[in-house]
Amino acid sequence: MGFIKEFKDFAFKGNVVDLAVGVIIGAAFSAIVKSFVDDIITPLLLNPALEKANVKNIAELSWNGVKYGNFLSSVISFLIVAFVLFMLIKVISKINRKEEEPAAPAGPTEDQKLLMEIRDVLKSKNNI
């Protein structure tokens, strides 16, 4: 029973579950970005360049026998994902900074008040 309990404790820790959710969302987001690049970016922005190269599909793009079209598509996808993650982390950091604003400094302690009174008394005696 100890092994099963240890595994259950490990598998259902918050960090492991968060990681699993992140991987699943990341895979879904990756599919969305791939579709965005293949179905929107390529036809709208890259087709004029592809037509000049006499290529109909980005996968057929090659130079000196090296097919780099799929690689170019992957690089564009990576840049989009990296930019979105950068913006997401920037927003999260900004939210966390607002939450962590320091509280107003506490007033003086009783000891400090007593010391200030002694200081004031000594100042008034010296001014006489």
State the Cα–Cα distance between residues 58 and 74, nearest whole angstrom: 11
Band (pLDDT 50/70/90 cuts) for residue 102 is: low
Band (pLDDT 50/70/90 cuts) for residue 49 is: confident
- Domain chopping of the chain, boundaries: 2-127
pLDDT of amino acid 8 = 79
pTM: predicted TM-score of the whole model, two decimal places: 0.52
Band (pLDDT 50/70/90 cuts) for residue 98 is: confident
3-state secondary structure string, the chain?
Answer: CHHHHHHHHHHCCHHHHHHHHHHHHHHHHHHHHHHHHHHHHHHHHHHHHHHHCCCCCHHHCEECCEECHHHHHHHHHHHHHHHHHHHHHHHHHHHHHHHCCCCCCCCCCHHHHHHHHHHHHHHHHHHC
Band (pLDDT 50/70/90 cuts) for residue 47 is: confident
The mean pLDDT value for 74-99 works out to 83
**Chosen CATH of 2-127 out of 1.10.3130, 1.10.1200, 1.10.10, 3.50.30:** 1.10.1200
Handedness of CA 108, 113, 117, 122 (dihedral sign): negative
